[in-house]
Amino acid sequence: MQKILKVSKIRTFYSMNQKQPSKNLQLSQSEMRALSNQVMDLVIEHFEDLRSLPVVQKPAIPLPTQSISEGKELLKRQREPIPYLATDIRCIVQQLEKDILNQIVHTDHPRFFAFVPSPNNFVSVMADTLVSGFNVFAGTWLVGKGAAEIERETIGWLCQLCGLPKTAGGLFVSGGSMANLTALATARHIKLNDQIDKAVVYFSDQTHSSVIRALKILGFPQHQLRSIPCDKDYRLSMKDVWNQVVYDRTQGNIPFCVIANAGTTNTGAIDPLADLADFCQAENLWLHVDGAFGAAAILTDTGKKKLTGLERADSITIDPHKWLFQPYEIGCLIVREQGTLKDTFCIMPEYLHDVNQTTEEEINYCNYGAQLTRSFRALKLWMSFKAFGVDTFSEAISWGMTLAELAEHLFQELPDWEVVSSASIGIVTFRYVPTRCSTSIDAINQQIVNQIASSGFAMLSTTVLKGHKVIRMCTINPSTTEEDILQTIIQLNDIAKSLTPSALVS
């Protein structure tokens, strides 16, 4: 053997071919330390200084009167030629600091109330660093059993918190959209054996667009989707669902799934989960609950009461990167019967036979969802749950609900404003309705939101409820103070008055 494989032979091979590159995409120890100090300084400064920074660094929503040339400048600056040659890494980080990281809206800012805020925590940031540093592969037991074990444990905690039985399980995915897609693929498989012809699915018109997108991806044509108009409280009406299902059966359609909301994105409304669970059980329908935003409220006593029935769902979407204070991307799907995921997603290609020589306990998460190569998302939730304690999370979630109630109370006191939907698990909606005003009320409310964003002080967003544009405030950041809420409302009111001088006369 020694005689056959001689070093000289390797040398001859090299003389004809390329040698191993001298730069192997690695840094020296001192370069790594310098880079990590530079990067970590930026991150720590971000955490320390966040409150003093404008929420919106540059106008997020350019006003018609403002030039958007600054945005164009950014785009131009970004169009650099392919960097074939190396650049000093310190300069790259400086460039990021100067040109890029200041071009983001701080969704973790205490006065970011738009969409669904994403208050972050430093322990989870460090967890993500560890995950990338060790490049943990969380797809199979063979390669990442430690990761699989932590994922199983963390998913188990979420199942327990949601009140699901011991048979429950689930997995972490990129976010709520993927969790909804995974849930509906599972419902399709379990209830229909993937035969979607004439199969009908029910949800309220307040349901998140990711659900409709998921159904589209799964092949359901529009005429098999039943978007049911919500009731006055923005919830599914049991009577309407019941009528629709009965009607569909008479038409030869096959009802198979109801999608309920545990906190709509528009108003935080919670569908009648317990009644829906009874109904789905009686009608043999899959009950999926989209709690991407709101299911986290189950960690609080008030939330537990409001979410009664959640524990009876077949599947639940819950997004740790929303109200469990995690950095993007971590969504989660939990299902009542862990086996339903495996039945739906498990495929055994030849080259993965080594991987699939496992016992039931040795979970290959690649068999429970769409991703084979997947990151160790569980670590950040696991580490932060342990480091702060779940009780601290519960208090933080409770505080978010209290702040929305405070905002509702303040708007009720304020002339010319009306509360459109009461505070519901951290979301309140309202609108400015001056008595005398020549401009459209919808347009004024949009202007108010645009102007407060461009002032940098706070950011809120609009939505449309029953045909009217309203302003939405989502108050789930635990660093938000009562004073933040008060000052934001004062500013909204000042902007509103400045936009409608004629209303001042009234």
Ligand X SMILES: Cc1ncc(COP(=O)(O)O)c(C=O)c1O
Comparison of 271 and 319: residue with beta carbon closer to ligand X? 319
Asked if residue 271 binds ligand X (CB under 6 A), the reply is no
Q: Specify the residue, 148 or 332, whose C-beta has the smaller distance to ligand X.
A: 332
**Beta strands in 114-247, from DSSP E residues, in sequence order:** 169-173, 199-204, 225-228
Q: Closer to ligand X at the Cβ: 141 or 202?
A: 202
Angle at which helix 441-455 crosses helix 482-499, to 10 degrees, equals 130
369 scored as a contact of ligand X (CB under 6 A) = no
Name which position in 248, 271, 319, 408 contacts ligand X (CB under 6 A): 319
**Contact call for residue 177 and ligand X (CB under 6 A):** yes
* Cβ contacts of 77 within 8 Å, gap of 6 or more: 99
For ligand X, the closer CB: 172 or 293:
293
Encoding tokens for residue 27? Answer: 């840094």
H-type alpha helices, 221-272: 238-250
Q: Which is nearer to ligand X, 255 or 294 (CB)?
A: 294
| Residue 190 or 260 with smaller CB distance to ligand X | 260
Nearer to ligand X, 136 or 211 (CB): 211
| # binding residues, ligand X (CB under 6 A) | 13
Q: Do the beta carbons of residue 341 and residue 369 sit within 8 Å?
A: yes
Does 265 sit near ligand X (CB under 6 A)? yes
The answer to whether 158 and 170 have CB atoms below 8 angstroms apart is yes
With b meaning 16 or more CB within 10 Å and e meaning fewer, what string describes 176-189?
Answer: bbbbbbbbbbbbbb
Q: Which residues contact 442 (CB under 8 A, 6 or more apart)?
A: 468, 469
Stretch that binds ligand X, among 38-46, 241-249, 289-297, 344-352 (CB under 6 A): 289-297
Contact residue for ligand X among 208, 374, 377, 472 (CB under 6 A): 208
Tell the smallest beta-carbon distance from residue 290 to ligand X (Å): 5
266 binds ligand X (CB under 6 A): no
Shortest distance, position 220 Cβ to ligand X, whole Å? 17
Q: How far apart are CA 83 and CA 150, in angstroms?
A: 39
**Closest separation in Å from C-beta 246 to ligand X:** 28
Q: In terms of CB distance, is 55 or 316 closer to ligand X?
A: 316
Q: Which span sits near ligand X by CB under 6 A: 67-75, 153-161, 176-184, 238-246?
A: 176-184
How near is the Cβ of 208 to ligand X at its closest, in Å?
4
Which stretch, 171-179, 278-286, 426-434, 469-477, contacts ligand X (CB under 6 A)? 171-179
Residue 406, token pair as written in the block: 């405070």
CB 292, min distance to ligand X, A? 3
What is the rounded distance in angstroms from the CA atom of residue 155 to the CA atom of residue 173? 12
Q: Which residues contact 60 (CB under 8 A, 6 or more apart)?
A: 105, 453, 454, 459
8 Å CB contact between 241 and 202: yes
Is residue 176 close enough to count as binding ligand X by CB under 6 A? Answer: yes
Q: Which amino acid is at 347?
A: I
Handedness of CA 119, 124, 126, 127 (dihedral sign): negative
Q: Is residue 293 a contact residue for ligand X (CB under 6 A)?
A: yes
Distances (CA, A) of 432 to 47, 408, 502: 34, 13, 14
Query: Which structure tokens are listed for 232?
Result: 């006055």
Q: Which residues sit opposite 255 in a β-bridge? A: 200
Instruction: Name the one range near ligand X by CB under 6 A: 174-182, 212-220, 228-236, 402-410.
Output: 174-182
**Are residues 170 and 339 in contact, defined by beta-carbon separation less than 8 angstroms?**
no
Q: Which is nearer to ligand X, 182 or 340 (CB)?
A: 182
484 in contact with ligand X (CB under 6 A): no
Name the minimum Å distance from CB 264 to ligand X. Answer: 6
**In contact, 143 and 366? CB cutoff 8 Å:** no
Strands 199-204 and 254-261: parallel
Q: Which stretch binds ligand X (CB under 6 A): 66-74, 93-101, 170-178, 439-447?
A: 170-178
Strand ranges across the sheet with 461-465: 417-424, 427-432, 468-474, 461-465
Residue 292 near ligand X by CB under 6 A: yes
DSSP-assigned letter for residue 229: P
Whole-angstrom CA distances from 298 to 87, 161, 308, 506 are 49, 7, 9, 45
Least Å from the CB of residue 425 to ligand X: 11
175 binds ligand X (CB under 6 A): yes
β-pair type (199-204, 427-432): unpaired
Alpha carbons 313 and 279: distance in angstroms, whole number: 11
Q: Which stretch binds ligand X (CB under 6 A): 133-141, 287-295, 298-306, 366-374?
A: 287-295
Mark residues 100-119: x for contact with ligand X by CB under 6 A, - for none: ----------------x---
Binding ligand X by CB under 6 A: which of 121, 124, 206, 210? 210
Minimum Å gap between C-beta 75 and ligand X is 24
For the beta sheet containing 331-335, the strands, ordered from the edge strand earlier in sequence to the opposite edge, are: 169-173, 331-335, 315-318, 286-291, 254-261, 199-204, 225-228
Q: Which of 54, 272, 309, 331 binds ligand X (CB under 6 A)?
A: 331
Q: Which is nearer to ligand X, 177 or 475 (CB)?
A: 177
Query: Least Å distance between CB 299 and ligand X?
Result: 17
Comparing CB distances to ligand X, the nearer of 116 and 448 is 116
Interacting residue ranges for ligand X, rule: CB under 6 A = 116, 175-177, 180, 208, 210, 265, 290, 292-293, 319, 331
